[in-house]
Amino acid sequence: MDGIGPLIVILLLALFAIIVLVRTVRIVPQQTALIIERLGRYSRTLEGGIHFLVPFVDIVRANIDQREQVVSFPPQPVITSDNLVVSIDTVIYYQVIDPKSAVYEIANFIAGIEQLTVTTLRNVIGSLDLEQTLTSRDQINGQLRGVLDEATGKWGIRVNRVELKAIDPPASVQESMEKQMKAERDRRAAILNAEGIKASQILTAEGEKQSQILRAEGSAQARILEAQGQARAIQQVFDAIHRGKPTQKLLAYQYLQVLPQIARGDSNKMWIIPSELTDALRGIGGALGATKPSGDGGDDEWVDPGEMLGNAFEETTLEDPKEALERARGQAAQSSKEAEEHAQPASRVQPPITPGADAVPPRQAPAAPPVAPPAPTEPVAPPAPPTEPPPAQP
């Protein structure tokens, strides 16, 4: 028993020494502050590092985290200026910059920030309607942050940011808003569809217009070329006939061959052959201008047309279809202008009716000519006395 008593005393002393050491040495982490009280009063604030305390005299009142904190508050019902109740979720980003004030100025700064946020939010939202509330989040955040930062400054807390996480209007209002948005989207879709149809019709009309213009220009150029080709063919045939020197007998023979073709047809019931066929043939030859009667009454002699020219296709110069088309357009425009001028009743002038002429009376009575104002009277000179004729010379 004598050896156990000193051992217990040694153990108790060792335990006391450990407790004293723990209470004396404190290691504070970075961005953490310890509020130290000595004998019940504030002594100092310990920041990151190792510190020594007086055991059983200095005690730690609070352990404050100085990092930025994020706290989310539950949804709060708020009434807007148009008497609609909306539910708003708020998120606060804050940081403790003065641990002493955060401990001694307010009992629970988290609850204080929450209640201050709710009251400030109701004041801000109460001056806005639903549409402004939904579209003015940045403005609401700025106002909340300014009010909270000013109120929490004396608590040693700095509010960095305030965010509205969600704004939930009533279910009926949400349904009405969805219908409105759907109607707006349908309206925009209808407008875009109508604009697309309009653009398509305009492009189609422009295409048809261009195609008709090109088709008309092509047809006009084709007709011009066809007419020029026919003119060249007629000229070529005319030159070939005169250079072949046909006789009167050949012309009569060709005339006889053409007569059955003239009389061909279902509607032809009678075919009359002229008795003076020779005279007719002679008249045709004279009309062609290729013969002249000889003085001795022999065979007809043809007039030599001269040297044969080159190919009519090579000598004939074609007119440019574009120039011909432009000239035709100008003539058509001039004709249209003249027709419009003649169509105007005011521009028509009635020809004077000559007495005794067999003129057809007009359908409408001519308008009465304007009465000219009377001319100013001038003094009339007295007649001159008659003069005697001079005596005749013998």
Question: For 126-135, how does the pLDDT look when each residue is reduced to its tens digit (9 = 90+)?
Answer: 888 888 888 8
Q: Is the pLDDT of residue 286 over 80?
A: no
Take residue 279 and report the two structure tokens written for it. Answer: 């005279």
Take residue 392 and report the two structure tokens written for it. Answer: 């005749």
Cα separation, 280 vs 262, whole angstroms: 16
Mean pLDDT for the chain?
A: 75
- Residue whose token pair is 């201008």: 289
Tell me which amino acid residue 115 is.
Q
- Residue whose token pair is 């982490």: 29
Which pLDDT score is estimated for 67?
Answer: 92
Handedness of CA 67, 68, 69, 70 (dihedral sign): negative
Cα separation, 204 vs 209, whole angstroms: 9
Tell me which amino acid residue 198 is.
K
Which whole number is the average pLDDT over 157-177? 86
The pTM of this model reads: 0.45
| CB 66 within 8 Å of CB 45 | no
Catalogue the E-assigned strands of the chain: 25-28, 32-38, 41-46, 49-52, 58-65, 69-79, 85-96, 157-168, 291-292, 301-302
Q: Which of 115, 62, 66 is nearest to 95 (CA)?
A: 66
Q: Which of 137, 136, 32 is nearest to 91 (CA)?
A: 137
Take residue 238 and report the two structure tokens written for it. Answer: 């005319």
Which whole number is the average pLDDT over 66-82? 89
pLDDT band at 2 (very low <50, low <70, confident <90, very high): low
